[in-house]
């Protein structure tokens, strides 16, 4: 399923136009993104939790030159699936 398929499903399920469904999806994505930028956690009960975690600095290896390189620390987004989602996929 891609973005357009999801917009179509939202529009059909909510009995709204595709334009409104696309706006709703954009709003959800923007809301999650803004919360993660602030370091907040977004929990959608039954679906899962979006949060950020710190990835420490480490030494890596360039596969082409085999030389060691320093990889800096950074924050990365993480998604943890909820119980209902895990059971549905099972």
In a domain, 31, yes or no: yes
> What is the model's pLDDT at position 7?
97
Residue 64: give its domain's CATH number: 4.10.520.10
Q: Which domain holds residue 77?
A: 3-83
The tally of domains found in the chain comes to 1
In a domain, 7, yes or no: yes
Give the rounded distance of the alpha carbon of 62 from its chain centre: 28
- Tell me the backbone φ, ψ of residue 78, rounded to 5 degrees: -135, 140
Query: One digit per residue, pLDDT tens: the chain, 90 residues?
Result: 999 999 999 999 999 999 999 999 999 999 999 999 999 999 999 999 999 999 999 999 999 999 999 999 999 999 999 999 999 999
> What is the model's pLDDT at position 68?
95
In a domain, 89, yes or no: no
In a domain, 35, yes or no: yes
In a domain, 90, yes or no: no
Question: Can you state the angle between helices 3-14 and 18-37, rounded to 10 degrees?
Answer: 120
In a domain, 38, yes or no: yes
In a domain, 33, yes or no: yes
> What is the model's pLDDT at position 1?
94
E-strand ranges in the chain read 42-44, 48-55, 58-61, 68-71, 74-81
In a domain, 21, yes or no: yes
């Amino acid at each position: 399923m891609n973005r357009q398929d999801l917009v179509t499903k939202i529009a059909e399920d909510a009995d709204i136009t595709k334009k409104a469904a696309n706006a709703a999806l954009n709003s959800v994505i923007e809301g999650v993104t803004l919360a993660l930028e602030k370091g907040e956690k977004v929990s959608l009960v039954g679906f899962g939790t979006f949060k950020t975690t710190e990835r420490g600095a480490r030494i890596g290896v360039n596969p082409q030159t085999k030389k060691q390189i320093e990889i800096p620390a950074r924050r990365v987004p993480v998604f943890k699936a909820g119980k209902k989602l895990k059971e549905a996929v099972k």
